[in-house]
Amino acid sequence: MAGHSKWANIKRRKGAQDAKRGKIFTRVTKEIMLAAKLGGGDLDGNSRLRAAVESAKSVNLPKDKIETAIKKGTGEIGAESIEEIMYEGYAPGGVAMLIEAATDNKNRTVAEIRHILSKGGGSLGESGCVAWMFDRRGILRFPKESYDEEQLLEVGLEAGADDVKDDGDTWEVRTEPEALSEVQEAYTSAGLEYTEADVTMVPQNTVPVDKETGAKVLKVYEALDDHDDVQRVYANFDLPDDLLEELAN
């Protein structure tokens, strides 16, 4: 398994252990508001909203806060206007970065994102400079100790999944973003429980970095990920084994 996948697995494990609840609540609330703003407040007719609500439930966001966020998104309750913006840039080592933000002040946010990248040895790029290096995919993850590849393929392919990949201690089922909800429902109906379901940006190829550069890239990544307006950060770096061992410990 490549260094990028190993790092993603480490990040998910540590994220579950060390999550900053306030930041996570803010992030999922903004996603609900954006999804409701763009596609309406009906969960059945808005797959993005349905996914956002499931994500919010998975981090134990209270039901009343979920309902309030939906109403704010649809305009039923007055709230600040949140806009979704994707920034593109580079970290040290020529690593491509996509930064998904939700903000009520675009000028402030872009200035702060530019500062974080520059301070860390990277740069903010023009729209389109790195987005072509990533594909938007639906992802479901299943624990290997619970299921085998054949089980997941049998249900997934019939429901519209594209592939099942070995991702270390999990199986990763990939779909087109539009097919994710239908594939989720198929697995649920079959009694197969996934640990995570999401629409994400997957790098087409990864850039190997040495230990020193990898540490710099991670510092930039973490600074961006900690920013209040940043929803997600995607990157295409491939970390060396010695740095991965340090992170795992």
Domain CATH number, residue 145: 3.30.70.980
- One domain for residues 156 and 169: yes
Residue span of the structural domain in which 26 resides: 20-74
In this prediction, the residues of the chain whose per-residue pLDDT falls under 50 are 1, 17-18
Contact 190, 161 (CB under 8 A): no
pLDDT of the residue at 57: 86
> Percentage of residues in the chain with pLDDT exceeding 70?
92
Write the DSSP symbol of residue 19.
-
Instruction: State whether 189 and 227 are in the same domain.
Output: no
Q: Are both 89 and 68 inside the same structural domain?
A: no
54 domain residue, yes or no? yes
Same structural domain, 198 and 169: yes
In this prediction, residue 88 carries a pLDDT of 97
147, part of any domain: yes
b/e map 130-153, b = 16+ CB within 10 Å:
beebbeebbbbbbeeeebeeebbe
Q: Decide if 170 contacts 9 (C-beta within 8 A).
A: yes
Query: For residue 47, which of 235, 181, 231, 208 has the smallest C-alpha distance?
Result: 181
- For residue range 198-217, what is the model confidence (pLDDT) as tens digits? 889 999 999 999 999 999 99
Quick one: pLDDT at residue 15?
58
Residues 172 and 69 in one domain: no
Pair (66, 175) in one structural domain: no
| One domain for residues 183 and 147 | yes
User: Looking at the domain assignment, is residue 46 inside a domain?
Assistant: yes
Enumerate the H helices of the chain as residue ranges: 3-18, 21-39, 47-58, 63-74, 106-119, 149-159, 180-189, 211-226, 241-248
Residue 68: which CATH number?
A: 1.10.10.200
98 shares its domain with 216:
yes
Give, in degrees to the nearest 5, the angle at Cα 70 between 67 and 74.
Answer: 140
98 and 61 assigned to the same domain:
no
| Residue 113 sits in the same domain as residue 218 | yes
Looking at the structure, do residues 214 and 188 belong to the same domain, yes or no? Answer: no
Indicate the number of domains in the chain: 3
